[in-house]
Structure 1
Amino acid sequence: MQKSSVLFVASLLFAAAGPAQALQYKLSPLLVDSASATEAFSINNAGTVLGLAQLNLIQAVVWEQGTARQLSHDPQSYGSYGLALNQAGDVAGYDYYPHGIVRAATWTAAGRQPVSLSAEYSRAVDINAHGVTVANGFGGYAQDSWSWDGATLTKLLPFSPAYNDSPGSPLRPGTTAHAINDLGQVVGSGGTADHQSHAALWTNGQIVDLHGGGTGSAAKDINNAGQILVNTYFGQDVRAGLWQNGALSYLGEHSEGNGMNAQGAVVGWAGFGEGAQHAMLWQDGMEFDLNAQIVGKRFGFTYLEKAYGINDHGQIVGRGLTADGSYQAFLLSPVPEPGAWLMLVVGLGIVVRVKRRARAA
């Protein structure tokens, strides 16, 4: 009886100190000297952050151990723009040139390398642990997506073949990749023959339709467990959802997801009154406005607007609005909730006393 009581008390205490009850974060601004604005898109498990800084022109930036460095770019271009970061710190993105031209590129320990697509415009959008990159190429009336392993380009299948809407103007439903996991599975969206955009998964050489309803959808991220972040559009409204076990579960009202981690925690933003957006976290079936989870200093942030990335330690990056009206990149780092830890310490003391009495009996 006494042993059962000990186990019961312990289980209650550990449940009280669980992550769903102790979501609190320390806020840190991510700064770049002389930048009028910054934004953070991705964070890996080492805490390396990828983003951008508005200097004379926009430049891709990596923050490592509190220090910011700019990514190199083609000398003929204006600058670089990073979109995704893998666990090794490799970056996928693009250089941008005059007249709106963009060219896909990656940045690794070996340096900057262009992704050689035949398209007029291209962007590398993600890179996995094996250095496999997914990129989108577009120009004219077509947009296509490829995976690239550094030597071979593999085109991602569309949902349907070309169709004719008008004589002499055949159109091909396009594809748009957004993310790739370490298994080589790619997610994004594809155009259909009836002019809709459906969330898509490319796996084992096939394309899988993930559309669960609404007027359109797009898959934004996928983890190694096969969980997929899907945004579904209902006219002008959007709802974030998680696709797993063959079904889509919506996460929040008026919400848009952007990134997820290995545990299936999703970050993004949701609409609030008067058009404002707040950075959000969806985890363990619960929804959190990250503005309400901050402890300590706020460093001049009026509110956190968008969360873009989350790593497996629960660190979150994005952008917030500051008092002077500019955007600033932020990092949120989880901290223990003092009340929960105090309850845990006191409770463990109770458990120890109960066990001592049990031995003495």
Structure 2
Amino acid sequence: MFARTCLFSLALAPLAGVAASHYAVTPLPPNTNPLGINNAGQIVGDRPGDGGQHGFLWSGGTLTEIGTFGGPDSSAAAINQHAEATGHASLPGGEARAFRYAGGKLAQLAIPGSSESLGTAINDAGQVAGQYRTTTPAYRAFLYSGGASTDLGTLGGDFAYAAGINNGGQVVGVSALDQSTPFLAHAFLYANGRMRDLGTLGGRYSAAADINDAGTVVGNAWVQGNEHAFVYAKGKMSDLGTLGGRRSYANAVNLGGQVVGRSDSAGDAGSLAFLYEGAALIDINTLIDPALGYTVYNATGINDSGQIAAYGCRNGGSECGGLLLHPSAAPEPGSWAMLLAGLGIVGWRRARL
């Protein structure tokens, strides 16, 4: 993965999220960076290790490192429902190679004509999408299926990056339209052997990050010089806005259409994780018991049960790492109950964002 990531004021944010669940928090080990989650709540990502970063698979409280191909680095980007993962791992010389990880074994994917490759997404059939670098060099998107790799082509330039795949084998990402500078690139949908331009929100750039089995696509696009999260459905790209800052990025979408990502806060003071359910972005931090002390900065994945893989910190930033957020129907008793009582609000369920 070379580069893989509302407009309500804080006063209105609770109204936007009345229907949202609250979340219990399970922390992953310190310094973990979660990148993907499956429907079993298993999470993959990377964390600092000896000599570089190491990919991991976290399942039920146990973290397993996936290893490398003899080099210093690896990263696991995505995981399917069979606990098969993809990402990249380095050779002794440092070159990255896309992999499939299954049953505790790391297997390199053969991508013809590549000098380096990265796996970015995997579906339940084991098809892998990603990017490879040619010897030219150029950067191209690939689909690996049935032991063979297919170059997905481009929208006209020499750059394409595949970021997401669904169980129908549809792939989304971003491709250059030409060789112009500044960069002109659009989100794409690849299906039935053809790459289709999904357009933009009016600017020169858009990039798709994920697609669900219903064909809903999420990503980000330029809006007046800044990047905003979008949802693309039924042939239309919709701006999701921000949490009050200039930028937002959608990372993942589940079958129910829930979208997660990150957004600049008001005044661009920092990044906050968001959840979108069809109305406005909701700050996920408003759905977590503040007594836990977490600030959640980015939500990187969401499964069909609504569980979220996220990154956050507490204790003044001294404890940072991955988090598994579990939806719950009601806030926990204690500090939240006292807070709501003090506000004089009866029967209100606090929202995300």
Counterpart selection for 2:155 from 156, 159, 171: 159
Summarize deviations over 1:39-72 as a string: whole Å, max 9, x none.
1111111111112222323111111111111113
- Superposed structure 1 runs of 4+ greater than 3 Å apart: 97-100, 324-327
Shift of residue 192, structure 1, vs aligned partner: 0.7
Shift of residue 22, structure 1, vs aligned partner: 4.1
Cα distance between partner residues in 2 of 1:134 and 1:324: 34
1:136 aligns with 2:121: no
What amino acid does structure 1 have at the position aligned with 2:26? S
Summarize deviations over 1:211-266 as a string: whole Å, max 9, x none.
12212010110011010003102465111111011101111232111111011111
TM-score, normalization by structure 2:
0.81
Q: Which residue of 2 aligns with 1:246?
A: 235
Shift of residue 294, structure 1, vs aligned partner: 0.4
1:206 aligns with 2:204: no
Q: Which residue of 2 aligns with 1:177?
A: 162
Summarize deviations over 1:155-208 as a string: whole Å, max 9, x none.
102112xxxxxxxxxxx5221100111101100011112631110011111111
Shift of residue 321, structure 1, vs aligned partner: 2.8
Q: Which residue of 2 aligns with 1:7?
A: none
Question: Equivalent residues in 2 for 1:319-358 (5 A)?
Answer: 319-322=311-314, 323-325=316-318, 327-337=320-330
Summarize deviations over 1:86-124 as a string: whole Å, max 9, x none.
111110101124665211111012721101122111101
How many residues of Structure 1 are paired with residues of Structure 2 in the alignment? 308
Shift of residue 134, structure 1, vs aligned partner: 1.1
Cα distance between partner residues in 1 of 2:224 and 2:278: 28
Question: Equivalent residues in 2 for 1:218-233 (5 A)?
Answer: 218-233=207-222
Shift of residue 209, structure 1, vs aligned partner: 0.6
What amino acid does structure 2 have at the position aligned with 1:27? V
Q: Which residue of 2 aligns with 1:90?
A: 84
1:65 aligns with 2:66: no
Higher helix share: 1
> Taking structure 1 as reference, are residues 120 and 293 closer, same or farther at Cα in structure 2, changes over 3 Å only?
same
> Taking structure 1 as reference, are residues 206 and 69 closer, same or farther at Cα in structure 2, changes over 3 Å only?
same
Question: Any unmatched runs of 5+ in structure 2?
Answer: 1-16, 332-336, 338-345, 348-353
Cα distance between partner residues in 1 of 2:306 and 2:324: 11
Counterpart selection for 2:172 from 187, 191, 216: 187
What SS does the corresponding residue of 1:120 show, helix, strand or coil? strand
Cα distance between partner residues in 1 of 2:258 and 2:18: 12
Question: Any unmatched runs of 5+ in structure 1?
Answer: 1-18, 161-171, 344-361
1:125 aligns with 2:120: yes
> Taking structure 1 as reference, are residues 54 and 204 closer, same or farther at Cα in structure 2, changes over 3 Å only?
same
What SS does the corresponding residue of 1:258 show, helix, strand or coil? strand
User: 1:26·1:296 contact (CA, 8 Å) conserved in 2?
Assistant: no
Summarize deviations over 1:256-285 as a string: whole Å, max 9, x none.
111110111110011013440000001132
Shift of residue 313, structure 1, vs aligned partner: 0.7
Cα distance between partner residues in 2 of 1:82 and 1:197: 26
